[in-house]
Amino acid sequence: MEAINRSRQIIFEKIRRATLTGGINDGLSQQPLVGTKSEANETSYNRFTESLKMAGAEIAVLNICDIDTYISEKFPGAIDLRNKNIWEDYKGLQPSELANRAECVVISGKIGVAENGAIWVDDTCFPERLLPFIAGKLILLIGEDKIVSDMHEAYAAISGTLSGYGVFISGPSKTADIEQSLVYGAHGAISLDVVIMKG
């Protein structure tokens, strides 16, 4: 530990010296503010659905009252994590147990981003962080009113509320590492269904 603390000291000392002698512009001492507002002609809703399609997601648009029926019919046996009463069943499970049990998982997302189809989920949406990744089929629900225009708006909403872990998910897991051919399901979800909730 002592050696590491010594390295810490050395690094900070070298940074200090570099900053003094390296001609780094002092005029930069004010943190620049980010004021970029994205420009778009289309509505956020349209951009969101277009982006999701591009990212390889399936989309359904439903009234809130129809959602339970839709899920139970289309994804029988899915683990619906909107119901927090079942969370205890999954807490603390080993990864292999989760892998066996969680083939299809439903999660309620918090923010949808129009410009890229990403949906924000965090520790408050699931009992185990591995669940959105271990599931072969992932279903994310997002309220129509939770769609923001761009990442600037998304991070403005997240900044103060970031929990222990959070992730933007945009489409199913992908790879193109073999000759640039796009394949879904490299490791995580092979498919992503997004349900946009109206009303």
Partner 1 sequence: MTSHSERAAAFLKDPDRVSWHDETLWIVRKKRDRAAASVKEWENLREKASKLKEYVLSDLAGLLTEFERNATLNGAVVHWAADADEFNRVVLEIIKSKNARNIVKSKSMLTEECGLNHFLQDHGVDIVDTDLGERIIQFRNEPPSHIVLPAIHLKKEDIGELFHLKLGTDRGATDPQYLTRAARVHLREKFLNAHVALTGVNFAIAENGTVVVCTNEGNADMGVHSAPVQIHCMGIEKIIPKMEHLAVFTRLLARNATGQPVTTYTSHYRTPKENGELHIIIVDNGRTERLASIDYRDALKCIRCGACMNTCPVYRRSGGHSYGFTIPGPIGTILAPHSVPGKILYKDLPAASSLCMSCSNVCPVKIGIHEQIYKLRQELIRKGYGSFVKRAILKISGFVFAKPVLYDISGKMVRIALKIVPRFLIYSRVNTWGLERELPAVPTQSFKEWYRQNGSN
Map the footprint of partner 1 across residues 86-125, applying CB under 8 A: 91-92, 95-96, 99, 113, 115-118
Q: Does 34 bind partner 1 (CB under 8 A)?
A: yes
Q: Specify whether the CB–CB gap between 105 and 132 falls below 8 A.
A: yes
CA distance 125 to 132: 10
Residue type, 192: L
DSSP 157: H
Interface residue with partner 1, options 81, 171, 191, 197 (CB under 8 A): 171
Least Å distance between CB 196 and partner 1?
A: 18
Q: How far is CA 82 from CA 12, 49, 53, 61, in A?
A: 47, 22, 24, 18
Segment near partner 1 (CB under 8 A); pick from 29-37, 66-74, 81-89, 104-112 = 29-37
**CB nearer partner 1, residue 73 or residue 179:** 179
**How many residues contact partner 1, by CB under 8 A?**
83
Q: Which of 86, 163, 198, 199 binds partner 1 (CB under 8 A)?
A: 163
**Contact residue for partner 1 among 31, 65, 77, 83 (CB under 8 A):** 31
Task: Using the CB atoms, write b or e for 140-174: b if 16+ within 10 Å.
Answer: bbbbeebbbbbbbbbbeebeeeeeeebebbbbbbb
Cβ closest to partner 1, residue 141 vs residue 168: 168
Residue 129 within binding range of partner 1, rule CB under 8 A = yes
Please tell me whether residue 2 binds partner 1 under the rule CB under 8 A.
Answer: no
Q: Any contact of residue 65 with partner 1 (CB under 8 A)? A: no
**Can you read off the two tokens belonging to residue 177?**
């590492």
CB-wise, 34 or 65, nearer to partner 1? 34
CB of 43 to partner 1, least distance (A): 16
Please identify, among the stretches 70-78, 79-87, 104-112, 155-163, the one whose residues bind partner 1 according to the rule CB under 8 A: 155-163
> Residue 196: exposed, middle, or buried by beta-carbon count in 10 A (0-12, 13-18, 19+)?
buried
24: left (phi over 0), alpha (psi -120 to 50) or beta: beta
Question: Judged by CB under 8 A, does residue 10 bind partner 1?
Answer: yes
